[in-house]
Chain A
Amino acid sequence: MTQDALLQTLGLRKEFGGLVAVDDVSFVVPEGSIVSLIGPNGAGKTTFFNMLTGVYKPTAGRVIFLGEDLTTKPPHAFTQRGIGRTFQNIRLFKNMTALENVLVGMHVRLKGNLVEAILRTPRVRHEEAAARATARELLEFCGLRRKDEEIGKNMSYGDQRRLEVARALATQPKLLLLDEPTAGMNPQETQEFTEFVGRLRTERGLTVLLIEHDMRVVMGVSDRVTVLDYGEKIAEGTPQEIQRNQRVIEAYLGTAAVSS
């Protein structure tokens, strides 16, 4: 194991009935890096992601985060240890305000319990006030200034994406998993978002793992790229290496296109 590995998987495998969605994938996310996971549709990227956050339990293999084996833990344990995520098809709490969405994200970082909440002890009051202030800061950081009282479902698509990131950041992650964050964005928004991901690392010291289709984002921001095809890892390396890799080109364009 490398010294600075934040997240590591060992032979991670997921079968749905007879279908092997992810086939013995081992890979490492070094601390402080931005790693991208790419691959054609149906390559098993999101399934892989879901195993990294405890939403799916792997059929075989292990997920190791900060040296701790989290494989059999429930999702909230992953969040608690410092893995935050967004969803490919936005899964906000649609009828809650932006602020409340972020506050739910803070759940594991707050302590107030049932009795304290009923009695509204000074500790809970301070904690709530502080949480609200932090939530507002996060919303502002994600470009959602003065939108804290807006209901999730009434927000624009771009804002919903931003809110998902804000909510994930509220869990105070060390590693942030973004599942196709630029899907449905126009080139302008995509450009802004790429810069935003860079800021997450420089300003917040986050490690980022990205699933992405847009090659400009992938090549522009990642340190390393991992390529999945039919559940298997077919290549790994710097963006430049990946762009030249024969198997990757075949996977994306088809064998016929390459050989002709």
Chain B
Amino acid sequence: MRARLVKAVADAWWLVLSRFGLSRHRWQTLPRLTRRTVKAVVWVALGLVLVAFFGVWKLSALAVAAVVLVLVVPPYGKVTFRGRPVGKAILPVAVLALAITYPFYGVVSSMPQLPIFGPVPQMSTMVGMAVFTMMALGLNFVVGYAGLLDLGYVAFYAMGSYMAGWFASSQFADQNINFGGIGVAPGVTGFHFSIWLVLIMAGIATAIIGVIIGLPTLRLRGDYLAIVTLGFGEIMPQVARNGDSLFGFNLTNGTGGITPIDGPGFGGWFHHHLGLPANYLTLGTNADRVFFWTALVLVLLTVFASARLRDSRLGRAWIAIREDEVAAAAMGVPLMRTKTWAYATGAFFGGVAGAYYASYNGGAFPDEFFFNISVFILCMVILGGMGNIWGVIFGACFLEYLDREGLANIGAWLNGHFGPGGSDFQIWHKTLDVPLYEFGIFGAILVIVMLFRPEGLIPSSRRAAEFREGVHDEPLYDVEHDERLYTPETT
């Protein structure tokens, strides 16, 4: 059905083109670079036309088009510098440079606007995108690399946030410890650790939670594992919600959440000598961009760890478990330990991201940690392409953008054209609140991706093959029925 549809469109396309003297055969005999250039130019031109007629035209659209062409057209893979292949690094570095400089050019007033999607994302959205990229990359260790379905990732996000709440706020009023805390007035009680320290503490504490959750659950396979992780993902926010009186002790401040949480900063010495911001919260309108750059550093560290681990002994063991658990065990891969490492690594980055986001938001609130966040992050990983770092980054940025701004923009556009007082023709009479249907829309996106491109938009080649053929992993009898199989080794 799908193949026939694609073929019909392609046939029609070539029929039109051959009228203008470009037959399919002639096209295919052209050099590859030419074809690539022509394709890119046509697409970019199409984009410009769309922006000019249906979006908001700014002269900078031409600059954007030029940047896209420069990024897409040349075959960077073959570039060498003094005999060393540097081509593979060009694209990532360029994308990173674009991200770093975004606060300077990504201003709504100077950028063109796409039709329907509207203006470019604001800085606060960019911070969210970076933080969620980090979380999605963390989940990718578990889901993408080791192939374990985790429906409770939000637990790690929550744990990280509350770590920031406990160690960088006035939650524990009978304590008075300031260890590098920024912007804390003298006499304010509570733990006030430096946010940088809190990030590390949160990562480690969350990794430990990951191990504690993992040890009993990772014996399970497939669906069973998913259900148990789902349970843990529900337990954490409930504990947070009701933790204002744990045996009389106020741990989480209940539904009110812990607020305010200290902001990050480098303090006076670094400010004077290196020019680093002393306290992010006092930067005013520039705060968001500094928060964004810091988040970018965290994302970079996560990407770095992802890439390094993928090509290591541990990464190979994860992939081996994903492909055939029994064979992996028979080849000497300790299943429990290896899976637990995947879990702990994923949890670590989830915890750091959670703590950082809590510091950015100035609080940890139990309402943020519900099941839908777990699914949201899982969607990012699936949509982008499980196991592929680029794919996960794209998935996370796109979905977080839709969540924060995109859907609202789309809704505004729809209402503006078809809603009450619409400029084109009116279809509905009550303003449509598109963000309200967020999870329905995400669900639909997911179903479409699963139907047409189950391996994700930018998959890893290995994962794509697994999806096409299915993974050959028939559990042996004992694996299904005998829990004694995975008794951890004591020697």
Contacts and interface: CB of A to CB of B under 8 A. Distances in A.
A176 to B, nearest CB: 12
Given A16-B477, A74-B489, A91 B333 contact: no
Contacts of B485: 55, 57, 74-75
Contact of B320 (A77, A93, A112): A93
A76 B335 contact: yes
A91 B329 contact: no
Interface residues of B, number: 44
A114 B316 CA distance: 12
Interface in B317-353: 317, 319-320, 323-324, 326-336, 341, 345
A57 B482 contact: yes
Contacts of B465: 94-95, 151, 153
Q: Of residues B320, B335, B487, which shows the largest number of chain A Cβ atoms within 10 Å of its Cβ?
A: B320
Interface string B291-332: 000000000000011001100111111011001101111111
Given A50-B476, A93-B319, A96-B320, A79 B309 contact: no
A167 interface: yes
Q: Of residues A56, A75, A77, A170, which shows the largest number of chain B Cβ atoms within 10 Å of its Cβ?
A: A75
Nearest to B310: A117
B310 to A, nearest CB: 9
A117 B311 CA distance: 8
Contacts of A110: 313
B333 A107 contact: yes
Given A114-B309, A117-B309, A107 B478 contact: no
Contacts of B491: 73, 77
B438 interface: no
A108 B341 CA distance: 16
Interface string A55-98: 11100000000000000111111011000010100011111100
B466 interface: yes
Contacts of A108: 332-333
A80 B332 CA distance: 6
B329 A75 contact: yes
Contact of B316 (A79, A87, A104): A104
Range class of the A interface residue count: 35 or more
Contact of A92 (B312, B327, B484): B327
B323 A96 contact: yes
Judged by DSSP, the binding face of B is: helix
Given A95-B465, A104-B333, A114 B314 contact: yes
Contacts of B332: 75-76, 79-80, 105, 107-108, 171
A131 to B, nearest CB: 8
B486 A107 contact: no
Given A16-B477, A93-B323, A124 B312 contact: yes
B472 interface: yes
Contacts of A16: 477
A79 B326 CA distance: 13
A256 interface: no
Contacts of A170: 331
A21 B324 CA distance: 25
Contacts of A114: 309, 312, 314, 341, 345
A113 B482 CA distance: 30
B477 A93 contact: no
13 contacts: A72-B484, A74-B487, A75-B329, A75-B330, A77-B491, A93-B320, A93-B323, A93-B327, A94-B324, A100-B316, A103-B313, A105-B332, A117-B308
Given A57-B484, A95-B323, 15 more contacts: A54-B329, A55-B476, A74-B336, A74-B487, A75-B485, A96-B316, A96-B319, A96-B320, A107-B331, A108-B332, A112-B313, A124-B312, A128-B312, A128-B313, A153-B469
Query: What 7 pairs between A and B have smallest CB-CB spacing?
Result: A79-B332, A117-B312, A108-B332, A75-B329, A91-B327, A93-B323, A76-B334
